[in-house]
Amino acid sequence: MIKAQVHDRFKLFTGKLAKDKTIGKLADEVAAFAKHTQAAAKSIGVEYIESAGLLLLTLGYRDDEEPYPIKLHCVPLGKIDAVAGDFSKLEAAMAKASGKIRNIICHELYLTGDGDFVMVFMTHEKA
């Protein structure tokens, strides 16, 4: 089944963080793109460029298989001290966040300029 996950198509989305430091309207833009282009979404990448106040989000996909509906969920994890090398609190927060979301295809983690960790989950939205 791993062959179904392999992909080489990518679409880039950019925008500002929402007031709650999530990806905001980009979530809907990604889902709409996948639906409109009939993409089989496989991965996401998220990078926050603090110096520009810009969020870059990429969607990895295939266009040679049956498409399916997706949704992006953004979950603020808060400020977590992980720089000392102990990532157990961050891992626990990630596990708690993922436990509330079903049908996860992939995830991404980013850090805001204020030190807030935010998880983005891409899910399969069964029709």
Which of 91, 93, 88, 92 lies closest to 77, judged by CA?
93
Spans of all domains in the chain: 2-124
For the cut 80, the answer to whether the pLDDT of residue 78 exceeds it is: yes
Q: pLDDT, tens digit, for every residue of 37-72?
A: 999 999 999 999 999 999 999 999 999 999 999 999
For the cut 90, the answer to whether the pLDDT of residue 4 exceeds it is: no
Q: What are phi and psi of 25, to 5 degrees?
A: -65, -15
Section 106-119 average pLDDT: 94
The pLDDT-based confidence of 112 (bands split at 50, 70, 90) is: very high
pLDDT value of residue 3: 85
Above pLDDT 90, what percent of the chain? 84
Measured distance CA(95)–CA(44) in Å, rounded: 19
For the cut 70, the answer to whether the pLDDT of residue 127 exceeds it is: no
Do the Cβ atoms of 55 and 47 come closer than 8 Å?
yes
Which of 41, 48, 55 lies closest to 11, judged by CA?
41
Which of 1, 5, 23 lies closest to 14, judged by CA?
23
The pLDDT-based confidence of 83 (bands split at 50, 70, 90) is: low
pLDDT value of residue 71: 97
For the cut 80, the answer to whether the pLDDT of residue 115 exceeds it is: yes
pLDDT value of residue 1: 80
